[in-house]
Structure 1
Amino acid sequence: MAKLFKFNLLVLVVIAIIAGVALGSFLPSFVVRIFVTFNGLFSNFLAFIIPLLIVGLITPAIDELGKGAGKWLAVTAGIAYASTIVAGLLSWGTSMVFWPRLLTGNHVTELADPESGLLTPWFTIDMPPMFGVMSALVFAFVVGVALTQFDAPALHQVFTDFREVINIVISKVIVPLLPVYIFGIFLNMTYAGQVWAVIRSFFWVVVVVFALTIIYLFIQYGVAGLIARKNPLPMMRAMMPAYATALGTSSSAATIPVTLRSAIKAGVSQNVASFVIPLCATIHLAGSTIKITGFALAIMVMFGLQISPPVILGLIFLLGIAMVAAPGVPGGAIVTAAALLESQLGFSPEQVGLMIATYIAIDSVGTAANVTGDGAIAVIVDKFAGHPGHVDLGLHLPTDDSAPTTA
């Protein structure tokens, strides 16, 4: 069952959306209230678990980034972070050009609120988080960086084990229940008569965001080609197997062996590729950042929310850090970002649910952009290494076809 949810989450989400739209127009209110009740409980659980998720995933990820490769770790991480931030800024600028035009006349003032009006839950259970989202981010960053500075095997193991606990919660609880939650969201929207405006509007949002991920790949390889003095088009062609594999798996981790072979075929030395590709599969999520930023701004335009440039800029920079936790779990990027959407942008649970549904609907597109962009970073690091075939970067990873168990 776990494999079913892992590899067919897209299918389940599509079914949930279609079923919610189809059934919401004629199901009686007492049936809708059952799913309203579930959504209320699930939203409260997400609010409780997300700060723990941030600590459990980001802390050991930062800890592990501090080991092994010295200055090449810093160089690769810096390029990857810069690429992610530029992707977010590009998505922001594109959104401000297109969304006011494409979404004109499709404003949605509110979704059916499961806690008021006709659609009220049968009961609610409060699950206050142990600490806030920003506190979790600061704690994860401070502790993660501190752990790289001294040898504390017991403390390292504590956070590594806690990461496994969080991964189990996500893979066994959150991800399997996401389709039910999304079904409830679209059921409520259809019952309230608002779903068609949202679907009609988001069709063009999806088209533009997909096109933007392709454009950004050309930008990445254009820059890599200039730095390495290579033709970017052959390098991009060499990376196409990785792009296609990621479209099928929706997993950066599972695609690592293919990405590694593709990067070597693109002209990256095996030593550099063996270091950069697995590392970037964990820290470089430019495609995911394009999607999250674009979808979030589309929802803000549709719902008439105020778009504050400092807040959006802060969100993009925080996404660059928070996304470090994303590749290790299915749907991890949007689950991790959900906390920032609520804390930074003031999204309601219904708006977060809409983000989750739209994001997962084209999840593989972002993943494919992520892993293909990893090849461009590998080309740049290979050039900076000078004589990469003879440079020991301090970390050697297998290049066979066995997929790693973690990102």
Structure 2
Amino acid sequence: MKFKFGLLPRVLAAIAAGILCGLFFPEWLTRVAATFNALFGQFLEFIIPLLILGLVAPGIADLGRNAGRLLLLTAALAYGFTLISGFGTYAAGRALFPLLLRGTAAGATAEAATFAPYFTIPMPPVMGVMSALLLAFVLGLGMAYARSERLKEVMVEFRSIIERTIAGVLIPLLPLYIFGIFLSMTQSGQVTSILEVFVKLIVVIFVLTLLLLAFQFTTAGLVARRNPFAMLRTMLPAYLTALGTQSSAATIPVTLERTLRLGVRPELASFVIPLCATIHLSGSMMKIVACALAVSMLAGLQLPTTTFVGFILLLAVTMVAAPGVPGGAIMAAVGLLESMLGFDETLVGLMIATYIAMDSFGTATNVTGDGAVAVIVDTIERRMKRPDVPR
């Protein structure tokens, strides 16, 4: 059996290597790493608008073209749970993070990037992030309502190219990028405070994921008039499987089998579960919002609540199109982090490292919550067919 060194171990190894090498690397070698980070950052700036366009437009077209009662109900529940996760996490973060980050110097992360690269190559994007998002909405809705199959085929092929770029270029190079960031932070003397925040953040997000699952299954229990914790216990194998796969798509067989054990009809479960693996990312939303809030506070950014409200609303739509590869959701969110929250290269790197360190928790929360969505959809659909019957 061939051993596969997953993304999370590679990122953790990169963080450890960056801290270790930061203790003895000479300045010229650190500048080599800074040069790679500058080039990677420029390429990231170039690819992000294309990524948004290539993923969001076909995703909207898929939803619109197949629009039906079950699809709309499932999509509404998935989007609703994702928004609740985002706003709930923001409220919890506003209450908890000032205490958790107390003693950490504001603006500490800004001092991490003190080593200039030897050279940079400008890679200007073909359009801005918001322009790409608006164009994706126009094309996606246009393809859905005009049933433009030719354009749809082109966009699906373009999406395939973007997904291959993410899986074959961006994700494999991320550990090197994160290595360079932690190398610079170690030599700048800021890494200890950053790691303390990482540990606290991981604990907080794990607790929040449990609360989110309790809320989702309590909602499902109220709708279906069943014991929510018994249903949650039934979905536990899917949660544990997702911890290992770090992929909603790869966990579909287990999620589907456990959902059937909840009493959801096979024909409905086989529709809802694969769909939710793509559009229901409440766990990923939680991680991104929590990490973004913590990193912005750590960097001393004064971001008003209205900015985060707009960020969460657009992020929920972007999450629908997040590719099903480990780390895909955070890559799809980078454009919004830069354009709406004003994150620079160092802050984006910290976001990516923190997110991937907790990737398993978010994916497990996503797939487990899919069972709650399926129960609600099944119950409502039964009652719409037979309104005189409680279930």
Q: For 2:254, which of 250, 253, 258 is the aligned residue? A: 258
Q: Give 3-state SS (helix, strand or coil) of 1:188's partner.
A: helix
Alignment deviations for residues 265-295 of structure 1 (CA, whole Å, 9 cap, x no partner)? 1121111111111111111100011111011
CA distance in 2 between partners of 1:253 and 1:3 (Å):
20
Equivalent in the alignment of 1:65: 63
Structure-1 separation of matches of 2:141 and 2:71: 14
What are the superposed Cα offsets for residues 232-254 of structure 1, whole Å, 9 maximum, x if unpaired? 11111111111111100000011
Specify whether residues 142 and 178 from structure 1 end up closer, same or farther in structure 2 by C-alpha distance, changes over 3 A only: same
2:225 corresponds in structure 1 to 229
Partner of 2:172: 176
Distance 1:23 1:122 in 2: 19
Once residues 110 and 377 of structure 2 are traced to their aligned partners in structure 1, the CA distance between those partners, rounded to angstroms, is: 50
Q: Structure 2 vs 1, CA of residues 190 and 112 (structure 1 numbering), >3 Å: closer, same or farther? A: farther
Aligned to 1:269: 265
Asked whether the 8 Å contact 1:80–1:377 carries over to 2, the reply is yes
The residue aligned with 2:23 is 25
- Distance, in Å, in 2 between the alignment partners of 1:67 and 1:368 is 29
Correspondences of 1:111-190 after superposition (within 5 Å): 111=109, 119-190=115-186
Q: Is the 8 A contact 1:58 1:144 kept in 2?
A: yes
Q: CA–CA distance in 2 between the matches of 1:286 and 1:218? A: 13
- 1:38 aligns with 36
Question: Is structure 2 residue 103 aligned with structure 1 residue 105?
Answer: yes
- Secondary structure of the 2:295 match is helix
Whole-Å separation in 1 of the counterparts to 2:305 and 2:139: 30
How many percent of aligned residue pairs carry the same amino acid? Answer: 51
> What is the CA-CA distance between 1:300 and the residue it aligns to?
1.3
Aligned to 1:308: 304
TM-score (normalised: structure 2): 0.95
- Name the SS for the 2:249 alignment partner: coil
Matched, 1:286 2:306: no
Aligned residue identity for 2:215: I
Distance 2:32 2:235 in 1: 47
**In structure 1, C-alpha distance between the alignment counterparts of 2:259 and 2:60, rounded to whole Å:** 25
Counterpart in the other structure of 1:395:
none
Cα offset for 1:68? 3.3
**Counterpart of 1:326 in 2: which secondary structure?**
coil
Contact 2:265 2:378 in 1 (8 A): yes
- Residue 210 of structure 1 corresponds to 206
Structure 1 residue 245 corresponds to structure 2 residue 241: yes
CA distance in 2, matches of 1:13, 1:63: 34
1:112 Cα shift? 5.9
Following the alignment from structure 2 to structure 1, what is the Cα–Cα distance between the partners of residues 374 and 104? 42
Where 1:122 maps in the other structure, the secondary structure is coil
Alpha-carbon displacement from aligned partner over 1:48-85 (angstroms, at most 9, x marks no partner): 00000011111111111123351211111111101000
Structure 1 residues 144 and 28, CA gap change in structure 2 (3 angstroms): same
| Distance (whole Å) between structure 2 residues aligned to residue 188 and residue 309 of structure 1 | 31
The equivalent of 1:48 in structure 2 is 46
Contact 2:143/2:149 (<8 A) preserved: no
CA distance in 2 between counterparts of 1:362 and 1:208 reads: 11
The DSSP-based 3-state class of the residue aligned with 1:60 is helix
**One-letter identity of the residue aligned with 2:295:** I
TM-score (norm. length: structure 1)? 0.91
Contact 1:382 1:388 in 2 (8 A): no
Distance 1:284 1:59, change over 3 A: same
> Is 2:35–2:117's contact at 8 Å kept on the other side of the alignment?
yes
Task: Give distance in 2, aligned partners of 1:243 and 1:145.
Answer: 34
Deviation at 1:157, TM superposition (A): 0.6
Matched residue type, 1:323: M
For 1:36, what is the secondary structure of its paired residue? helix
Aligned to 1:87: 85
Query: Aligned partners of 2:240 and 2:167: how far apart in 1?
Result: 24
The answer to whether the Cα contact below 8 Å between 1:244 and 1:368 also exists between their aligned partners in 2 is yes
| Distance in 1 separating the partners of 2:141 and 2:124 | 28
Larger deviation, residues 86-95 vs 233-242: 233-242
8 A contact 2:62–2:144 mirrored in 1: yes
Give SS of 2:119's match: coil
| 8 Å Cα contact 1:277/1:374 also seen in 2 | yes
Give, as a single letter, the amino acid of the residue that structure 2 aligns with 1:25. Answer: L
Mapped pair 1:374 → 2:333: no
- Displacement of 1:26 in angstroms is 1.4
How much has 1:389 moved relative to structure 2? 10
Contact kept in structure 2, 1:37 and 1:114, CA below 8 Å: no
